[in-house]
Amino acid sequence: MGTARGPVLQRVVGWCAALAVLTTVIGAAWASPSGAQESGRVQLVNALMGQPVDVYVSGRILVADLAAGDTQDLTPLAGRLLRQVELRRSRTSSVLVGPLGSLTVPEQGYQTWVVHLDASGTPTLTQFTDDRGAVAAGRSRLTVRHVAAAGAVDVAVTAGSPGQVVSSTTGLASGGQFQTDLDAGTVDRMVMVSGATTVLELQPLSLQPGEQLTVYVMGGAGGTALVPISFVTADLVVIPNRVDSGIGAVAGLTGRSMWPSPLVLLSMLGATLLAALAVRRVLDGRDRAGAADRRP
């Protein structure tokens, strides 16, 4: 009987190993970072009107010909320490910003690095922290960044009739930002005022649920008008305004759990049980066959 069971035991070991591998793969796929929210993102934005730039690190070019209003993803450099950073006029040796001794690209969190003119008209680099926090259901986020060669401004956002102010701020300086969460829909207008003078007016603005609209206001050098550029981030986490009872998680609050769902666990246990029953049936059949062969 020992001889008969040898190959069967080998199959049992093989099946158990295969099940272990399958379970490990399922668990790893479930808990992998791809199933969770991304850990962060770093973007470089050129907000210099009409001036493309090259980015040099330690004397070597990192980004070439970044046009005004364009962005460069720096996320692949997460965790890297960049030394002797210079921003130059594109295709020249003329340095606009720097050399900066060192800049560290963060490994986590969301940042936007903006090259722009400060209030005096001098090129500079400002690092903004992007708020990617959750918004309530039916809400959206508006972020206004003052990156122009202009003094402080007051910002007002109006919606509804007759142009009710729904959010505002005063004294927003160059290099600063104003942010507000609003009901999704159409905002009648956003106006920037310096003293009694309106320096920029945008109307209308469309805000979609769960989206963030970021408006960069640049220009202003030599008395030129302020000009907006905008980017939309469409994957903010939305907090539901109600939670249904019953089995099931509310998606999008904290990312995917590191453990499989009860349904997946039951499926895995069921597969293991079926495999065990199949092994038992094979062993019983071999035992009966062995006993029949030993009969006189």
Q: Encode pLDDT of 134-183 as tens digits.
A: 999 999 999 999 999 999 999 999 987 667 899 999 999 999 999 999 99
- Report the percent of the chain where pLDDT is more than 70: 67
Domain 40-130 classification at class level: mainly beta
pLDDT at position 237 is 81
Closest CA to 216 of 160, 164, 166, 145: 145
Query: How many other CB atoms are found less than 10 A from the CB of residue 221?
Result: 18
**Starting at the edge strand that comes first in sequence, how are the strands of the sheet with 226-233 ordered?**
176-183, 139-146, 212-219, 226-233
Q: Write the DSSP string, 133-148.
A: --EETTEEEEEEEE-S
Whole-number pLDDT of residue 268: 63
Residue 223, pLDDT > 60, answer yes
- What's residue 46's pLDDT? 96
The answer to whether the beta carbons of residues 133 and 141 sit under 8 Å apart is: no
pLDDT the model gives residue 87: 98
Cβ atoms within 10 A of the Cβ of 5, count? 15
Give the pLDDT band of residue 67 (cuts 50, 70, 90): very high
Rounded Cα distance between 219 and 222, Å, is 9
**Is the predicted pLDDT of residue 66 greater than 60, yes or no?**
yes
The amino acid that residue 7 corresponds to is P
The pLDDT mean for the chain works out to: 79
Which range has the worst mean pLDDT, 18-32, 42-56, 193-207, 215-229?
Answer: 18-32
Q: Which residues make Cβ contacts (< 8 Å) with residue 277, sequence separation at least 6?
A: none
> Per-residue pLDDT averaged across 68-93, rounded?
95
**DSSP readout, 90-114?**
TTSS-EEEEEEEEEE--SSEEEEEE
CATH class of the domain at 133-255: mainly beta
By DSSP bridging, strand 135-136 and strand 238-239 are: parallel
What are 113-137's pLDDT values in tens digits?
999 999 999 999 999 999 999 999 9
8 Å CB contact between 213 and 140:
yes
Per-residue pLDDT tens over the stretch 5-58: 555 555 655 555 555 545 544 444 444 433 334 567 999 999 999 999 999 999
